[in-house]
Structure 1
Amino acid sequence: MAAYSLRLYEDTLAPNHAPIYLPAAARACYVVHGSATFEYDEGAQHQRAGGAWLGDAPLALLAGEEGATLWRWELDATDAPPGELRSAPGATSTCKLAETIDLDPRQQWLMRCDSVYFPPGGIAHTHVHQGPGIRCTLEGEIAIETLGQRHVHGPGDAWLELGHAPVLAPTTEARDTTFIRCFVLPRACRGRSSIRYVHAEDGGKQKPQRYHVFGERFISLA
């Protein structure tokens, strides 16, 4: 296994901010508020709130007329410099979570960004995933029970799931809950669910959660 750094940043850009330039990195960017244009080697893509962009090329980032708030995940070497935005006086950037994850360099990997929605009182029964990732709550509240600990995450809270460690995840009964997720999976998971239920009896239970995949991108580990 080899160690890599997975980081989640929250970037807030003023309306019509001058382009911000980011170096090459495996990344996913989710637009929380406003809109943004992502310019890269092969072209450009505009995303409004509720959309995401994935890629690994050097990036020019432009905010729309309403400004933009982004959640930006980056996978890089553990000794890579911090990725907060620089030389951008009309922008703020905060690292919400930085974690070291172990990946098998013999495996081929992809990065996936998606959303997971639960109705009030929904629950993800005890499960594992095929790779690690960082989640961040968009609305509602979710409890994560894993490795003998329980933590409750409200809007804007981020957490790491290792993938191989079983997780039980009940949500609040007061309202809907949605979180945004970026995780690293074997390429063989392309277009397939990565979830596996730990207890056989849970496999046949009703699954209230709904998923929306924004995109997947094959990545190469340096």
Structure 2
Amino acid sequence: MSDTHALRCFGESLAARAVRKIDGRAPRVVYVRDGAATFRAGGQVATMVANGAWFGTDACEITAGANGAAIIEWHLLPLGTATPNRPSLLDAGIKLDRAERYLMRCDRVDFPLGGIAYTHTHRGPGVRCLLTGTITVKVTGTEHNVQPGQAWFEAGPDAVSALASASAPTSFVRVMILPVELHGKSSIKYVLPEDQDKPKRQTYQLFVDDPL
């Protein structure tokens, strides 16, 4: 089965009171990294401050707050869908089964100094974006050194491990597409049985866990 959808990630800084419109219906998450932003979509209005995330499927209008806003966006689109002509942080092709039901999850992961994510897999694909610190991510044996503002893709079934900076707290925000039965449940599975019960020092903050 070939890819059916694209999970696209964008980063943008909006000036004070700037307005940006996102056209078209599609599942999307917008995380407010700094500042504040007001979202208008489907007759509803919601304001998010720093470290908050909005989910919607309708076309929307984003208005930055008095001090502007730095945002990160994820859009789930069928392959071939026209998208705005602007640079993306990452475009990932993913395979979704029409016979299955999915949810879109956005959460934040924070590591202490030198924190370790033991070798694991997930039940679905996702795109991560580093907020603070640095992190070395090893995917099926290949290492990637990720800096703040950079994004990376994890397919789900591929074995992944990660080592956070030893000199600065490290955090990232991610959006994953998961089976709907995982609503409210962890998607992680540790590859090595001995890692299952080791202390996990990272913490999680859930923002969005909505069925598609």
Q: Which amino acid aligns with 1:35?
A: A
Alpha-carbon distance, 1:105 to partner: 2.0
Q: SS where residue 107 of structure 1 aligns?
A: coil
| Mapped partners of 1:94, 1:46: distance in 2 | 26
Q: Aligned equivalents of 1:188 and 1:3: distance in 2?
A: 21
**In structure 1, what is the equivalent of residue 28 of structure 2?**
27
How many angstroms apart in 2 are the aligned matches of 1:8 and 1:32? 14
For structure 2, list consecutive stretches of 5 or more residues without a partner in the other structure. Answer: none
RMSD, aligned CA: 1.3
Q: Which residue of 1 aligns with 2:8?
A: 7
What is residue 195 of structure 2 aligned with on the other side? Answer: 202
Please give the residue correspondences for 1:10-89 in structure 2 after superposition, counting only pairs within 5 Å. 10-18=11-19, 20-84=21-85
CA–CA distance in 2 between the matches of 1:194 and 1:154? 25
Deviation track 1:166-198 (CA, whole Å, cap 9, x = no partner) reads 101111111111000001000000001100001
**TM-score, scaled relative to structure 2:** 0.95
Kept in 2: contact 1:55–1:217 (CA 8 A): no
Residues 30-70 of structure 1 deviation map (CA, whole Å, 9 limit, x = unaligned): 01121110111141110111111011111111111111111
Count of matched residue pairs = 211
Deviates more, 1:114-123 or 1:20-29: 20-29
For 1:202-221, list aligned pairs within 5 A.
Answer: 202-219=195-212
Which residue of 2 is the match for residue 163 of structure 1?
156
- Is residue 118–residue 171 contact of structure 1 (8 Å, CA) maintained in 2? yes
Residue matched to 1:88: none
Q: Provide, for residues 181-221 of structure 1, a one-character-per-residue CA deviation record: whole Å limited to 9, x for no partner.
A: 001000000001100001100001000110000111211xx
Q: Distance in 1 between matches of 2:141 and 2:84?
A: 32
Q: Following the alignment from structure 2 to structure 1, what is the Cα–Cα distance between the partners of residues 97 and 109? A: 26
Maintained 8 Å contact 2:19/2:61:
no
Structure 1 position 104, deviation (Å) = 2.0
Q: How does 1:117-196 map to 2 (within 5 A)?
A: 117-196=110-189
The AA in structure 1 aligned to 2:77 is D
Q: TM-score, normalised by structure 1?
A: 0.91
Pairing partner for 1:106 from 94, 99, 106: 99
Using the aligned pairs only, state the percent identity: 37
CA distance in structure 2 between the partners assigned to 1:18 and 1:194 by the alignment: 35
Q: Output the CA distance in 1 between the equivalents of 2:158 and 2:172.
A: 19
Show structure 1 runs of 4+ deviating over 3 A.
Answer: none
Does the CA-based 8 Å contact 1:16-1:67 persist in structure 2? yes
Secondary structure at the counterpart of residue 104 of structure 1:
coil
Unpaired stretches in structure 1, ≥5 consecutive residues: 85-92
